[in-house]
Amino acid sequence: MSRFLLACRGQRPDRTPIWIMRQAGRYLPEYRAIRQGRTMLETVRTPELAAEITLMPLRRFDLDAAILFSDLTLLFTPMGAPFEIREGVGPVLERPVRTAEDLAALRLVDPYEGLGFTMETIRLLKPELRVPLIGFTGAPFTLATYLVEGGPSKDHLRTRALMLSEPALWHRLMETLAENVARYLSAQVQAGADAVQLFDSWVGVLSENAYRTYLMPHMKALFERLEPLGVPVIHFGTGNPTLLPTLQEAGGHVIGVDYRIGLREAAALLPRPTPLQGNLDPAALFAPPAELERAALEVLDAARGLPGHIFNLGHGIHPQAPIESVQRLVEIVHGERLGAP
């Protein structure tokens, strides 16, 4: 079994596995070349292009997993919420979802019809890969923020206001999103994904009480749906480290940790031992080599004694990250051979 899958299952590989969120992306010149004259959505919806981009970082670096080149929000169009991804902005919807009538227009998705290109990309990738493939999508709350706000937001005020003022409408929206996420991730696994990750990029704007009241029932139901798939599920939320115990309670075999808290402190917050993923500050890739090494070794040292650890950044790699720093980071992580706990 691969280092990555061993660590996901709480076992101890010979060396810490490493992959990097957004590793197939804008910091690579070959990625920028292939995207020239193409929109993001055109690229992810073309299986041959998406597969090629997924493979790009693996040709440069000795990474322990591939992550599908895709986007968190692809469910929107087949759900009945058309959108575009604007360069430098993000997903922008034609019609935000803010009323009962808006919600009634949303559909449950057949992923093989509306998102068949994703499964075709996975099928193209599997014969080419020597490492596990991670599928993914956005978590229900993060998807809801885009639907309600109509695009990216700094404070997600409309979303939080809808949640508090119209709880019945909110719960129906979450039920729809959780069902569609479960269907989409299940289809990715059936097509060949070896693990999946839920990105809850904006969940950190919530308090623990709000999470428990407005998200927990839907998240637990979602993770229960994913359990029979038999693959590791990584649960990654950002922005509020005090939510980590609540995220663990919701579900997932691996808890992703962002860069705002140390791994030791994160582990101490969790009621039960769980494999952790993370959590180097992406800014460390811009530091001098000696400081990058110090920061990476600090993460590795903090992970000693964990039931499993997958090295990653504590958020997505920055588009301007130096390629030589990524190479050096992989060498540092793989250079630390794991001994007895």
Catalytically annotated residue among 26, 225, 304, 328 = 26
Which residues pair with residue 233 across a beta bridge?
196
Q: Is 304 a catalytic residue?
A: no
Catalytically annotated residue among 3, 31, 71, 183 = 71
Q: Is 71 a catalytic residue?
A: yes
Catalytically annotated residue among 31, 146, 211, 214 = 146
Q: Is 281 a catalytic residue?
A: no
Catalytically annotated residue among 15, 35, 172, 212 = 35
**Side by side, which strands form the sheet with 233-237?**
66-67, 133-138, 195-200, 233-237, 254-256, 276-280, 309-313
Length of the chain, please?
341
Distance CA 97, CA 84 (A): 15
The 10 Å Cβ neighbour count of residue 62 is 12
Q: Which amino acid is at 117?
A: F
Q: Give the pair of three-digit tokens for residue 183.
A: 């269907």
Q: Which of 165, 154, 114 is nearest to 137 (CA)?
A: 114
Cα angle: 29, vertex 294, 339; to 5 degrees: 100
Q: Give the pair of three-digit tokens for residue 50.
A: 């998406």
The 10 Å Cβ neighbour count of residue 66 is 26
Show which residues are catalytic: 22, 26, 35, 71, 146
